[in-house]
Amino acid sequence: MNRHITSLALATSLAAAIGAGSAVAQDSMSSDAMEGDMVQCYGVAMAGQNDCAAGPGTTCAGTSTVDYQGNAWKYVPAGTCETMELDGGRMGSLEPLDRDLPA
């Protein structure tokens, strides 16, 4: 029984440590974005991998339905958005785009 309790305590501690690290990473990204290190770059996210704003009929993160959807954005390091090389000669934008929108 002691072995079971020890294993359970270890697993709980490990889960708590992982959860705390995840929360710190999320807080770090949010504060980086506020400090200007990260910017919202439209038209660079793959389907379902946007950070937010995927246009009408969607809610937020992970809701884009088309690769490089022009009205969906992803956080990228400042200064890289408009210079990213994407498939098909597409470029990122700091403003929403009217291209690659779902039908």
pTM: 0.60
* pLDDT one digit per residue (tens) for the chain, 103 residues: 555 454 444 444 445 545 544 444 444 444 444 456 999 999 999 999 999 866 665 567 888 888 999 989 999 999 999 999 899 999 999 999 999 888 7
State how far the Cα of 72 lies from the Cα of 50, in Å rounded to an integer.
Answer: 6
Residues 6+ positions from 41 with CB-CB distance below 8 Å: 73, 74, 75, 76, 80, 81, 82, 84, 92, 93, 94
Is residue 41 within 8 Å of 81, Cβ to Cβ? Answer: yes
